[in-house]
Structure 1
């Protein structure tokens, strides 16, 4: 069965670059980073509304720290060429995050 062109729904023209970007899956690391950024924004929004010292404030703060620990490890890895032990750099970064 064929449908006359006049009754077909209109279609927007899509550039080849946009089509490729939409069909190419993101790497898991890139997708995870985007998810972490989105989660961090949501958690900061919640944290702003909560009273410091409450159990809920502590829970959201802990979730923010946990979500961003991979960022600390990534940043610490950039200092591998220095003469500092990796564990020490991660520890300092974690304290900075907290």
Structure 2
């Protein structure tokens, strides 16, 4: 399927969908791992573009968008930041927070 055809089917602008496609390529989305420029979109690629568009239309952006588009590969920084925020809320010392963060991230790896 061409990007133009997808835009017509969704009643969206090619510019908007091109931005979505470029974001997915730049962020190495799995559906675009073997993407060849100027080739038709695969059904998985079209689905990823549609999903990206639905999230951005709903106002999701930044790290939240990345987490939505890559649910199985949440960035380690996002995990560390979430833990840091949690520990700060509970007034845990920085030393203890660092130890806990390390231990929790090790559990996530296994």
TM range (shorter): 0.3 to 0.5
TM-score by length of 1: 0.38
TM-score by length of 2: 0.35
Greater C-alpha radius of gyration: 1
